[in-house]
């Protein structure tokens, strides 16, 4: 990673807005946590449970909400959303590593594929026939790009990404190591006790500004395409079945499994290890708790959790009741004993 540039608080606020309290000439070299920060670092406080660290931090400056702006005398930037602001500042100090354009000598590029001068292809990569690479694409070492794949401008594939033939990636896609795009969906039919494979004829369409985590798999469609719309963010180790559609700007945490032909709306948030059965419809703006099991369609925006998943408020109440089952059972037992003794006396 290249050495980060230095910025004064005033320069940061000029870029991203916010209010400076303290010395606007405070020089910042990098970001850090409240606990590990030193002079020249900028950190942030977003949750109250870390407030005690603010009193002891050695950071050169901090990013705070308006409500917390008076908790320290350190140079600080006060803004509406400290975590989002910190994300922007971190990106400023840590831009993506640039790659030198060109094709490594050990890479294999099949005939019929034109490589723009701005494209970088790493050691041991394979690029099939008729692949279309736009400007600034980076293909890391050991990647395998199948025939007829299209990759949009500014997209980056880290080492050992596999894209099966006929899939399309939009602009500025970011795929981490081990991701597999376009493998066959789990299409099989039973024939007198024997499973017969159903050819998977669709592809995978991925929009602009999509990030796909390490070892995440997105299956190609059985007939139509599997679709991941613009701005979707996928964590590591996610399985997305054939013909799934994921709406724009949805975020899905690691180890989630989504069975085939489910449609997930726009701007949803799905927690880690959630399981979503096939052929369901999830409305826009739905939040699903980690480890929830979704067995039926969700038609309204809201927060859902549990097994099977239900409205989060109902689920929380039911869990609270379950915790009191033992004491309720004991109370019922005593009532029964009391009634039995009365009956004997009568």
Reduced to 3 states (helix: H, G, I; strand: E, B; else coil), residue 63 is: strand
Question: Do both 207 and 298 map to the same domain?
Answer: yes
Residue 264: the pLDDT is 98
Q: Is 152 found in the same domain as 242? A: yes
111 and 73 part of one domain: no
Catalytic option among 41, 158, 176, 242? 242
Q: Does residue 328 lie within any of the structural domains? A: no
Q: Are residues 75 and 183 in the same domain?
A: no
- Residue 43, SS3? strand
Residues 194 and 294 occupy one common structural domain: yes
Whether residue 272 is contained in a domain is answered as yes
Q: According to the model, what pLDDT value does residue 346 have?
A: 65
Find the helix or strand (DSSP H, E) in which 320 lies. Answer: helix 312-323
Active site residue 242: yes
> Containing domain of residue 280, as a range?
102-315
**Residue 250 domain-assigned (yes or no):** yes
Distances in whole angstroms, Cα of residue 4 to Cα of each of 34, 91, 273: 19, 10, 36
Indicate whether 173 and 71 sit together in one domain.
no
Q: Does the residue 325 lie in any domain?
A: no
Asked if the structure places residue 320 within a domain, the reply is: no
- Whether 22 and 65 map to the same domain: the answer is yes
* CATH at residue 283: 2.160.10.10
Question: Do 139 and 225 have their domain in common?
Answer: yes
Angle at 203 between CA 202 and CA 207, to 5 degrees: 140
Cα(125)–Cα(123) distance, rounded to whole angstroms? 6
Q: Is residue 332 part of a domain?
A: no
Record the pTM. Answer: 0.87
- Number of folded domains that form the chain: 2
Evaluate whether 313 touches 296 at the Cβ level (below 8 Å).
no
Q: Are both 27 and 73 inside the same structural domain?
A: yes
Q: For position 23, which CATH number holds?
A: 3.40.1390.10
Q: What is the pLDDT along the chain (346 residues), one digit of tens a residue?
A: 455 689 999 999 999 999 999 999 999 999 999 999 999 999 999 877 889 999 999 999 999 999 999 999 999 999 999 999 999 999 999 998 889 999 999 999 999 899 999 999 999 999 999 999 999 999 999 999 999 999 999 999 999 999 999 999 999 999 999 999 999 999 999 999 999 999 999 999 999 999 999 999 999 999 999 999 999 999 999 999 999 999 999 999 999 999 999 999 999 999 999 999 999 999 999 999 999 999 999 999 999 998 878 788 887 787 777 777 778 777 888 888 877 777 777 6
210 and 282 fall within a common domain? yes
């Amino acid at each position: 990673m290249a050495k980060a540039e230095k910025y004064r608080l005033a320069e940061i606020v000029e870029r991203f807005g916010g209010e400076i309290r303290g010395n606007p000439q405070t020089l910042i070299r990098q970001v850090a946590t409240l606990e590990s920060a030193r002079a020249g670092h900028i950190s942030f406080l977003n949750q109250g449970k870390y407030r005690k660290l603010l009193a002891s931090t050695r950071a050169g400056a901090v990013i705070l909400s308006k409500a917390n702006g008076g908790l320290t005398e350190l140079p600080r930037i006060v803004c509406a959303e400290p975590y989002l602001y910190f994300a922007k500042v971190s990106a400023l100090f840590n831009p993506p590593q640039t790659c030198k354009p060109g094709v490594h000598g050990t890479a294999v590029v099949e005939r019929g594929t034109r490589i723009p001068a701005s494209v970088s292809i790493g050691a041991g990569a394979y690029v099939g026939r008729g692949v279309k690479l736009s400007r600034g694409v980076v293909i890391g070492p050991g990647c395998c790009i199948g025939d007829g794949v299209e990759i949009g401008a500014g997209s980056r594939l880290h080492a050992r990404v596999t894209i099966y033939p006929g899939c399309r990636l939009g602009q500025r896609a970011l795929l981490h190591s081990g991701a597999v795009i376009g493998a066959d969906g789990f299409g099989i039919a039973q024939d007198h006790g024997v499973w017969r494979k159903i050819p998977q004829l669709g592809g995978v369409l991925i929009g602009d500004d999509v990030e796909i985590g390490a070892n995440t798999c997105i299956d190609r469609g059985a007939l139509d395409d599997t679709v991941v719309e613009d701005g979707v963010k996928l964590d590591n180790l996610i399985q997305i079945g054939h013909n799934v559609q994921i709406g724009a700007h949805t975020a899905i945490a690691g180890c989630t499994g989504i069975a085939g032909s489910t449609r997930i709306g726009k701007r949803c948030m799905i927690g880690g290890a959630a399981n979503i059965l096939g052929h369901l419809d999830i409305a826009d703006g739905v939040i699903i708790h980690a480890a929830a099991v979704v067995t039926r369609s969700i038609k309204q925006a809201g927060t859902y959790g549990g097994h099977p998943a239900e409205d989060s408020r109902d689920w929380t109440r039911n869990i609270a009741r379950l915790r009191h089952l033992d004491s309720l059972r004991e109370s019922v037992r005593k009532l029964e004993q009391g009634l039995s003794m009365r009956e004997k006396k009568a």
